[in-house]
Structures are given as structure tokens and as C-alpha cells.
Amino acid sequence: MIQCQCLIGIVNKSQFGQRLDRVLVELFPDYSRSRVKSWILDGKVRINERVTTIPKEKMLGGEVVKINAITEEVQCWDAQDIALDILHEDADIIVINKPRDLVVHPGAGNADGTVLNALLHYYPLIADVPCAGIIHRLDKNTTGLMIVAKTCLAQTRLVKSLQERKIIREYEAVVLGTMTSGGTVSQPIARHATKRIHMVVHPMGKPAVTHYRIMEHFRAHTRLRLRLETGRTHQIRVHMAHINHPLVGDQLYGRRLHPLKGATKSFDEIYCHFNRQALHATMLRFHHPITAIEMEWHAPLPKDMVELVNVLKVDQEKFKRGIDWL
């Protein structure tokens, strides 16, 4: 089936001097460089409303790029009756609270059973919106807030807001080690050269910025509030591991959890068996794509992270009392 859609992006200042075809591959990573080049040569690409047919044209940064893309839909996804925790819905958007163990989009190893399949069942008309209206993604075992567009216009405007960094996304996490202060990690992220599901900090990667502040100290852990300035794959997980404070339970970028010296058996049962990254998308703030009204949504920590935080608090109090007794 042939499908037409309008892709809109804004060239980053960091892409100054890069070729148009290379920039478009970075802005729209779902499409190959050969596909992007064919769109340029066919006159399907506009830069600030000016048609260009030159793949090598150099970018200055800040240009608005539009592609009247013609794609061939190679797969039709099935609608599946999967429950969604919907916090808000109107004619244009849906805000959901994603649980753990749920993939957002079908892919290798996850052909179905995803948020996308659930959306197709819940609102069949969303099949006409690119990617079923999914604006941004959360990892399979990251919980929390996601925005979904119900119309093409809402999708286009939300994607533009995301690229312009106008959608505020905040997370809560528990990391290994005691951090002394908040800060910012500004390190580019790229895909690992040989481990294709891993991302790494790399000088040739895409710009990535994560801000964090301390919410709570524990004996050997820290609870953080983090804000994304960019949205790279696994960004928080990679950045925290890079500064030697990986997320508790992160099986890709962290390390195996071991009992703490002097901890209780109940602590070990919860802590050592926490089998996902301790990361939750807790706040979203954005302007509605149609009404322009500012909206803000919050999602409380899920049960498993509440239990983790509670046992860390109890352990911290016992540790303090133990110090006082010395």
C-alpha cells in the first residue's frame, strides 16, 4: 500500500555546514539515506518553503524542512485489545501512563503486543496518523507518561514542539552511589559499533543533554529528578552510567545488584530482585497542539519503585541509628 505523509523537522544549530541528505537522515532516522536522497532529487523536500533538489546543499541551522514523503507501507500492524492507562483524552491527543514490560512500537523481537497495537484497537482512526500518533518513546521497562496524537495536524505540531525542545519531560530515577550535588551531563550519544542494542557516549554522536537534581540520599544510592533537553535512545541510562552512577536494575548499562552490608533480609529480597531500570517518566508539560493551552501531567511512582524507595529509606534510617550507637 502506498502512503503519503508530511514530515516536518528543524535543522539543529549543531548541524551547521552538514549536507542536506545527512541532516535529514539524522532528523528522520526511520528512513534510509537512499530514500531521503530520492525524495530530494524528486523535488519532495522544501527548505523554508523553497524546493531543493540538491542533496549536497549545506545547512546553516534553524531551517524548517518539510518532506512530502511517499512511502511504501510494508507492514500492517494488528489492532489488539491491550489495556491502556489513559490519563487524558480529547479530540486531538491522548496522554497515557505506560506500565513496565510493554514495548511502545513493534520491532525485532516484538512483532506485536505493543502500545501501538493497543492504540489501533482503542482508536482505529489513528491508523491514518504516522506511527499511530506516537510522538516519543519509552523503553520497554521504563514506566510513565507518553503523548499520542490522534490527528495528523496534532502529530505534526507535537513533533515540531519536541524538536524545538518545547515539551518538558521529567523523570525520577534511583541510581547507584551517593551523589553530592545535581548537575548536567552534556555528552553526545551514538549507537555502539558492535552491540547494536547498546548506545554509548561518543564524540561523533548526536548532541544529548540531561539535567539532574538530588531528591533524596540513601546509604549507597541516590534518588534523582531528571529533565531531558534532548531525547536520544537510552539517554538517561547512558548518561548516568557515563558518570559512574548507573540506574538500579539497569541490565544493559548497570551492574548486578548485591546485598548491602548489614542490610535486612527483607531489604535484600526487594532490592536484589529489582529487575528493571529504576526509571519513571513522572511529568509532562506542553502546549496543546490545537488550542495552545499549556497542559501539565503527573504520574506517581509505580508500585515496584515505591517499594524500592521505601526499603532504601528504612535501610538509611537503620544505618543512621547504627552510626549513632557507635
Which residues are annotated as catalytic? 139
Q: Are 92 and 289 contacting, i.e. CB atoms less than 8 angstroms apart?
A: yes
Other C-beta atoms lying within 10 Å of the C-beta of residue 3: 11
Q: Among all chains, which residue has been given the C-alpha cell 508530511?
A: 6
Residue type for position 279: L
DSSP assignment, residue 276? S
Q: Among all chains, which residue has been given the C-alpha cell 491527543?
A: 93
Look up residue 72 and give its three cell numbers.
Answer: 511504501
31 Cβ contact partners less than 8 Å away, ≥ 6 residues apart? 24, 25, 69, 71
Q: Among all chains, which residue has been given the C-alpha cell 541528505?
A: 21
Closest CA to 267 of 311, 305, 322: 311
Distance CA 140, CA 135 (A): 16
List Cα–Cα distances, 228 to 1, 153, 170, 211, in angstroms: 37, 25, 7, 6
Give Cα 62 to chain centroid, integer Å: 23
Convert 18-57 to b/e letters by CB count within 10 Å (16 or more is b).
Answer: bebbebbbebbeebeeebbbebbeeebbbbeeeebeebeb
Q: Are 145 and 279 contacting, i.e. CB atoms less than 8 angstroms apart?
A: no
Strands 64-72 and 2-10: antiparallel
Q: Are 140 and 102 contacting, i.e. CB atoms less than 8 angstroms apart?
A: yes
Q: Are 263 and 257 contacting, i.e. CB atoms less than 8 angstroms apart?
A: no
DSSP assignment, residue 131? G
